[in-house]
C-alpha cells in the first residue's frame, strides 16, 4: 500500500491554484496528501519519488505554497534541493515564499517568514531574480512593509549575509534600503523596522546611493516619511519626542560612522 501511495499515479488529488484571478487545476499524486511528517518520512524511507512535478511545481513547492512548515522541514531534511521547485515558471521555493497572498491570515504571514528562514538555512539562493528581474532582498522588505509582517531579525541577517549585492535596484530604481527608509506607512508601525535598515547598512547597503530621482535613502528618510523629522510639525501630535530623537540618533550615528558630515541632520533640527 505504501509503495502504491508513492507511485506516480496521476489520479491523486485535485488542487486549485489562483493566479491573476484565473483558476488552474492540477492533479497531484497521493504523496502530496502526506502532510504528517511521520507518514511522509515513512514514504521517503520506502523510496517514494519526490521528483514528481506538475505545472505548479514539485512537492516542496506544494508545501511552501500551503505554508506547511513541518512538511517543508521534512522534505529539506530528506535532501530535497531548496532551489529546485520543478515549476514551469522557474520560480524557486524561496522566491515563492517571499511573495504574499492577499488571502493569507496572520498565522500564515508568520509561517511564511519562518519557512523563508528555514529555506535559507538549507541552502536557498537569494540571488536568483524573479521573472520581472527584481531580487528577493527587495521583495522581502516590500512584503514585510505592506503586510506588516517583518522577517525575524536573525532570518533577515542571514538573508543579507547571503546576498551578493544589497544595492541592486528595483524596477523603480530603488534599493532595499531606500524602500525601508522612505516608508510612508504610519510611524507607529514603521518605527520597529529601523533595526532592519541598520542591518542592511551594516551588511553593505549604501545609504548615500541615489535612486532614479537623484535622492539618497538618507534624504528620503528625513524629508519624506510620514513619521520622519521633516514632517514633525505636521504630525507632532501623533508621535513622542523620543521617537524623533530615535530618528536623529540613527542619522547622526551613521553620518559619523561613514565620516560624512554632510549627512548630519542638522537642518532638520533647526527647522
Mean pLDDT of the chain: 76
Q: What is the mean pLDDT of residues 92-121?
A: 88
Percent of the chain with pLDDT over 70: 69
β-sheet bridge partners, residue 17: 24
User: Residue 90 above 80 pLDDT?
Assistant: no
pLDDT in tens, 115-164: 999 999 999 999 999 988 899 999 888 876 555 567 888 899 999 999 99
Q: What is the mean pLDDT of residues 96-117?
A: 85
Residue linked to cell 528625513? 222
Cβ neighbours around 90 below 10 Å, total: 11
pLDDT band at 13 (very low <50, low <70, confident <90, very high): very low
Percent of the chain with pLDDT over 90: 25
pLDDT band at 251 (very low <50, low <70, confident <90, very high): confident
For the ranges 73-77, 94-98, 163-167, 265-269, which has the lowest average pLDDT? 265-269
pLDDT of 94 reads: 94
**Does residue 125 or residue 15 have the better pLDDT?**
125
pLDDT of 234 reads: 47
pLDDT of 29 reads: 56
pLDDT in tens, 49-62: 888 787 778 889 88
pLDDT of 10 reads: 34
pLDDT of 9 reads: 34
Burial (CB < 10 A; 0-12, 13-18, 19+), residue 113, is buried
- Concatenating the DSSP letter of every residue in the chain gives -HHHHTS--S-SEEEEEEETTEEEEEEE-GGGG--SHHHHHHHHHTT--TT--BTTB-HHHHHHHTT-HHHHHHHHHTT--TT----TT---HHHHHHS--TT--HHHHHHHHHHHHHHHHTT--TTPPPTTS--HHHHHHHHHHHTT-PPPHHHHHHHHHH-S-TT---TTS--HHHHHHT--S-HHHHGGGHHHHHHHHHTT--TT---TTS--HHHHHHHT-TTSGGGHHHHGGGS-HHHHHHHHHHHHHHHHHTT-GGGSTHHHHH-
Pick the CATH number of 126-271 from 3.90.800.10, 1.25.40.20, 3.30.420.40, 3.90.420.10: 1.25.40.20
User: Residue 223 above 90 pLDDT?
Assistant: no
What is the domain partition of the chain in residue ranges?
Answer: 126-271
For the ranges 164-178, 203-217, 231-245, which has the lowest average pLDDT? 231-245
CA 142, chain centre distance (Å): 8
Q: Closest Cα partner for 216 from 241, 246, 251?
A: 251
**Does residue 197 or residue 104 have the better pLDDT?**
197
Torsion of the alpha carbons at 244, 203, 127 and 16, rounded to the nearest 10: -40
- Taking a C-beta distance cutoff of 8 angstroms, is the pair 85, 58 a contact? yes
Q: Closest Cα partner for 57 from 45, 66, 44?
A: 66
Amino acid at each position: 500500500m505504501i509503495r502504491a501511495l508513492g507511485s506516480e499515479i496521476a489520479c491523486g488529488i485535485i488542487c486549485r491554484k489562483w493566479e491573476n484571478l484565473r483558476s488552474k487545476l492540477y492533479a497531484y499524486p497521493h504523496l502530496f496528501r502526506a502532510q504528517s511528517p511521520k507518514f511522509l518520512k515513512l514514504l521517503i524511507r520506502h523510496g517514494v519519488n519526490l521528483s514528481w512535478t506538475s505545472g505548479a511545481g514539485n512537492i516542496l513547492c506544494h508545501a511552501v505554497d500551503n505554508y506547511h512548515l513541518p512538511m517543508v522541514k521534512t522534505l529539506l531534511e530528506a535532501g530535497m534541493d531548496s532551489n529546485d521547485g520543478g515549476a514551469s515558471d522557474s520560480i524557486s521555493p524561496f522566491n515563492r515564499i517571499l511573495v504574499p497572498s492577499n488571502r493569507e491570515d496572520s498565522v500564515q504571514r508568520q509561517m511564511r517568514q519562518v519557512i523563508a528562514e528555514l529555506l535559507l538555512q538549507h541552502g536557498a539562493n537569494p540571488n536568483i531574480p524573479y521573472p520581472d528581474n527584481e531580487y528577493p532582498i527587495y521583495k522581502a522588505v516590500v512584503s514585510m512593509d505592506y503586510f506588516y509582517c517583518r522577517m525575524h531579525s536573525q532570518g533577515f541577517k542571514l538573508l543579507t549575509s547571503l546576498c551578493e549585492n544589497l544595492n541592486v535596484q528595483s524596477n523603480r530604481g530603488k534599493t532595499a534600503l531606500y524602500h525601508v527608509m522612505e516608508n510612508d506607512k504610519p510611524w507607529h508601525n514603521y518605527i520597529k523596522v529601523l533595526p532592519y535598515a541598520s542591518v542592511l547598512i551594516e551588511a553593505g547597503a549604501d545609504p548615500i546611493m541615489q535612486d532614479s530621482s537623484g535622492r539618497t535613502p538618507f534624504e528620503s528618510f528625513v524629508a519624506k516619511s510620514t513619521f520622519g523629522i521633516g514632517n514633525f510639525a505636521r504630525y507632532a501630535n501623533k508621535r513622542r519626542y523620543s521617537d524623533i530623537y530615535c530618528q536623529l540618533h540613527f542619522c547622526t550615528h551613521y553620518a559619523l560612522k561613514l565620516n560624512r558630515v554632510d549627512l548630519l541632520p542638522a537642518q532638520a533640527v533647526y527647522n
